[in-house]
Amino acid sequence: MIPQGSKNSRRKPDSTDKLTDGLFSGVLAIFIETGVSRKRLQVWQRRFEDLGGTILTAAANLLGRVDQIIILAAHEAALSKGINFDRLGSCPNLNFVQFRWVEECLKDGTLLSYEPFLLSASQDEHILSTDDSRLDAQSGPQSDQLYVTPALAIVPDGDLRACSEVVNEKRYDEVSEECTIDTKFKAICEDDMPDYNKHISRPLLELSEIYSDVLADEWRSLTYRKVANKLDRLPYQILSADEVKNIQGIGKSMVDKIKEILCTGQLQKLFNLKASSQVQIMQQFASVWGIGPKHALKLYQAGHRSLQDISEDQTLSPMARVGLKYHYDIALRIPQSEVSEAGSFVRHVLEDLCPGASIIVGGSYRRGNATCGDIDLLITHPDGHSHKGLLGRLVTKLEEAQFLITCPNPFTENITHKVNTYMGICKLPQYTHHRRIDIKIYPKQAYAFALVYFTGNDVLNRRIRYLAKKKGYKLSDQGLFLRVGDNKTGMASEVSIPCETEEEVFQKLGLPYPEPHERN
């Protein structure tokens, strides 16, 4: 009596196997961010890329491109706001398509015709507009605006309905109807949650950084950071320390510090530390990639007082030299769109080099953050062997393309083409800043574990690894291993418990599966 394709077959063929080349492989798309909530946009973008699609940004140079490119937007009005038609006019293979097309493709499991979803752009006056404003200049700030613009607390019907559809589409596990709505409301609330407690979490986070950079106390640093994060996600403003004293992870001295902030508006301890010139200088030294608290102290004791000073120090590691050279750029946050574009850039090069290889942008990008500290790329090959020796060749190609920066120092040659890790600097031709980039390549059987690791965040990784240990396992980016001896000897089985997907990894640990955006 149950028709085929009913809710009993809730597991779509593609929904769990991200290695299988996706629905959207080879499809190039520009997502117009106007007129759609950030959350929905991210869900679509992630699904689209997970299934092999390539996302271009509106700022991408489309002139002379022969590829078929689709432009996805919420509605026609969004088209005119979100895109500069002067730039696109000369690109012949354009289709303007509703976001709904992506949803329907996902539901259907096949690539549908654009036809029913086409947006008419040709009627729009903007096409013929002679306005010569440069899109480069306006699209960056524009996409930033999207994130700082507070959305409505009460969501219009249409928005909520569409959100629910996305959730429905994603429910390859059982999700009841009311739960769906509930979850969606929650997600929306999170999206628009004000910074109720920043005035408290901020000093704690500063303390965390000083403990880590200057005082070399990893554990206090971690504790402060965890508490700061926890306060940031409280859905109410803390008015009294009583509201905080029962929170897991907040002990006596933390309560005292929160009290002090509530009473006096600041932390004396932090104030004193920040007043110390040694602390200031050491913190600046340690802000350089490749310089930690130990070396920062050494440099200070050697009499150095500025970055200028240490740049002449012969004891600097090659990594620190690179860190110093790009110190300014590295400190900048990277817009989501640029991270995405960097991923697409590498994806194209990789496709040429090693057809069938899969590449995913991990890190805070995959967790859906609006800006990222660096670019994390995760590569594998579904055939189980083509990944071998791939990194070296890829890095060479990317250096030839002048995407990866080949440094004159011994740094790149030394640290660089190791078996599975590249850590370095990159720059997209059309952008101005240099960015930190990490590329990792894993064999197929480690991919799910690597994806969990590379998605993070760091605190989540530590938590689930700790949990795994307590349950008699060892979890790493390479696998999940049964402990053989006791947990102290560190002995673990050679062979990992196989997992094909992230879902399986969490399931094996007895944890509910968190969506990437829930791993912050």
Partner DNA sequence: AGGCCGTACTG
Partner DNA sequence: CAGTACG
Partner DNA sequence: GCCT
Give the Cα separation of 478 and 489 in Å (integer). 19
What are the two backbone dihedrals, phi and then psi, of residue 81, each rounded to the nearest 5 degrees?
-75, -35
d(Cα 228, Cα 239) in Å, to the nearest integer?
16
- Asked if 389 interacts with DNA (CB under 7 A), we say no
Q: Which range of residues in 6-14, 87-95, 300-308, 371-379 is near DNA by CB under 7 A?
A: 371-379
DSSP, collapsed to helix, strand or coil, labels residue 378 as strand
* End-to-end CA, the chain: 44
Buried b / exposed e across 325-348, counting CB within 10 Å, b at 16+?
bbbeebeeebbbbbbbbbbbbbbe
Among 248, 277, 308, 489, binds DNA (CB under 7 A): 248
Rg (CA), the chain: 25
| Contact between 252 and 258 (Cβ < 8 Å) | no
Q: Is 294 in the site for DNA (CB under 7 A)?
A: yes
- Give the active site residue among 257, 325, 427, 474: 257
Q: Which is nearer to DNA, 385 or 488 (CB)?
A: 488
- Is residue 271 close enough to count as binding DNA by CB under 7 A? no
Q: What is the DSSP letter of 492?
A: B
DSSP string, 321-348: HHHHHTHHHHHS-EEHHHHHHHHHHHHH
Binding part of the chain for DNA, among 45-53, 195-203, 242-250, 347-355 by CB under 7 A, reads: 242-250
| CB distance 357 to 386 below 8 Å | yes
Can residue 311 be called a binding residue for DNA (CB under 7 A)?
A: no
Instruction: Give the number of C-alpha atoms closer than 13 A to the C-alpha of residue 367, restricted to the C-beta side.
Output: 21
Tokens, residue 4: 């085929």
Q: Among residues 13, 410, 472, 498, which is the contact residue for DNA, using CB under 7 A?
A: 410
What's the min distance (Å) between Cβ of 501 and DNA?
18
Q: Residue 154 interacts with DNA (CB under 7 A)?
A: no
| Residue 495, both tokens | 């062979």
With binding defined as CB under 7 A, does residue 319 bind DNA?
yes
Residues of this chain, 427-446, that bind DNA according to CB under 7 A? 436, 438
Helices within 367-501 (DSSP H only): 390-400, 411, 447-455, 458-470
Alpha carbon separation from 234 to 17, 149, 191, 193, 248 (Å, rounded):
35, 21, 13, 9, 13
What residues numbered 159-218 form the site for DNA, per CB under 7 A?
216
Residue 417: CB minimum distance to DNA, A: 8
User: To the nearest whole angstrom, how small is the minimum distance from the Cβ of residue 87 to DNA?
Assistant: 32
Q: Is 415 in the site for DNA (CB under 7 A)?
A: yes
* 363 is a site residue for DNA (CB under 7 A): yes
For DNA, the closer CB: 56 or 378:
378
Residue owning tokens 């400190």 = 331
253 is an interface residue for DNA by CB under 7 A:
yes
219 lies in the site for DNA, by CB under 7 A = yes
Active site residue 257: yes
By rule CB under 7 A, what string of x and - marks binding of each residue 443-482 to DNA?
Answer: ----------xxxxxx--xxx-xx-xx----xxxxx----
270 in contact with DNA (CB under 7 A): no
- State the number of binding residues for DNA (CB under 7 A): 65
Angle at 420 between CA 414 and CA 422, to 5 degrees: 50
By CB under 7 A, name the binding residues for DNA: 216, 219-220, 222-224, 227, 248-255, 269, 286, 288-296, 317-319, 323, 362-364, 373-374, 376, 410, 414-416, 418-421, 423, 436, 438, 453-458, 461-463, 465-466, 468-469, 474-478
Give me the active site residues, please: 257
